[in-house]
Amino acid sequence: MKYLDIEKLRSLSLADFRATRPFPYYNDEGVLKESGFQDLLANMPPLEMFDQRIGEERRAGQAPHDRYSLEYTPDMPVPKPWQEFIAELCSDAYRKEIERLFEAKKVEFRFHWHYTPRGADVSPHCDSRREHGSHLFYFNSQDDWDPAWGGATLILDDGGRLDYNSAPALDAFDGITECKSIGNYSALIKRTDHAWHAVRPINSPQDRLRRVFIIVVNPDNLFWKVRDKVIGKRIQRF
């Protein structure tokens, strides 16, 4: 593979992933080969392709996750390195590792980019119950991002106390672990009702954006496909 170092995921034991606290997650360097990371970083989709999503309501009164968002579709003219990388993500090799780590029989993916501007944050939340989890790839480097600007994913420990349908502030949590996110890092997060995570408000200059590529991992489930069709929700599945 040109981009993925699939052996990095294969070397992660299921037992170690399960045992990670406060919930199963994996944040390390090098799931992408360094040359692949640099190629993708140099060819990020332009902001003109994105939709601005500001002030959208969230579950249980959680604060909006303001951002620029782009969801991948097969005919989307993203730069060639991204087309090649997404093809690798659709391979049996990557899908098999995600199914192994999430202990899922059959999964499908959605792909999207989030660019977060100055002043925006990601309020504490757990991912939707229709998901198995997500794999986040970070695309800010030491050359273009100061750690003081924020942007790291925060892994939050609620001690098993908080209701999934609630809107807690950061000070409601027993512990906060900051993921490494500058340079060639990714974070694989398994969804549970207590897999809370967040991002503090971005404090970057106006011309800088926190850039993340997210693989949302869903079950390949007929129920959700029919439901989405009935309510007119268009979902790209891979």
Domains of the chain (ranges plus CATH)? 6-230 (2.60.120.620)
- pLDDT for 55: 85
Q: What span, in angstroms and rounded, lies between the C-alpha atoms of 135 and 216?
A: 7
Average pLDDT in the 64-87 region?
96
Q: What is the pTM of this model?
A: 0.94
Q: How far is residue 103's CA from residue 27's CA, in Å, rounded to a whole number?
A: 18
Mean pLDDT, the chain, as a whole number?
94
Q: 109, exposed or middle or buried, with CB in 10 Å at 0-12, 13-18, 19+?
A: buried
Per-residue pLDDT at 226: 64
Say whether pLDDT at 52 is over 90: yes
Report how far residue 235's alpha carbon sits from residue 217's, in angstroms, rounded to the nearest whole number: 13
Answer yes or no: is pLDDT of 228 > 90: no
Average the pLDDT over 74-86 and give the result.
97
pLDDT value for 166? 96
Is the pLDDT at 157 greater than 70? The verdict is yes
Q: Is the pLDDT of residue 97 over 80?
A: yes
Closest listed residue to residue 33, CA positions, set 137, 105, 112, 133:
137
Contacts of 150 (CB under 8 A, 6+ apart): 199, 200, 201, 202, 203, 204, 210
Give the pLDDT of residue 221.
77
Inform me whether the pLDDT recorded for 224 exceeds 90. Answer: no
Q: How far apart, in Å, are the Cα atoms of 180 and each of 17, 29, 152, 195?
A: 17, 8, 7, 18
For position 57, what pLDDT does the model report?
86
Quick check: helix, strand or coil at residue 191? coil
CA gap 136, 216 in Å, rounded: 9
For residue range 184-194, what is the model confidence (pLDDT) as tens digits?
Answer: 999 999 999 99
The string of pLDDT tens digits covering residues 109-118 is 999 999 999 9
